[in-house]
Amino acid sequence: MEDDDSVNIEDYMWVVGKSRVFDDGDSIEVIQIKRRDNGPVVTFHIKQGPGIPRKLLLPLEEFSATYGHLFKREEND
């Protein structure tokens, strides 16, 4: 992400609180999107198997490219 002002994080806030559970029980849940000095960052949990969810952070652009296809914006979001 070149410039913090190049992305309006408000356009992506609809995904906060959304989750996706896969057929095998693994899941991903978006916790927050926060503006940082080097650009917006997405905090999310990944749960695989019976263990404790892992907390991960990715730049918004990378999260969108990697996991964006898992979340679809509904008309009322």
- Tell me the pLDDT of the chain (77 aa) as tens digits: 344 456 788 889 999 999 999 999 999 999 999 999 999 999 999 999 988 999 999 999 999 999 999 998 776 65
Class of residue 63 by CB neighbours under 10 A (exposed 0-12, middle 13-18, buried 19+): buried
* Side chain identity at residue 11, one-letter code: D
Please tell me the pTM assigned to this model.
0.82
Instruction: State the pLDDT at residue 74.
Output: 73
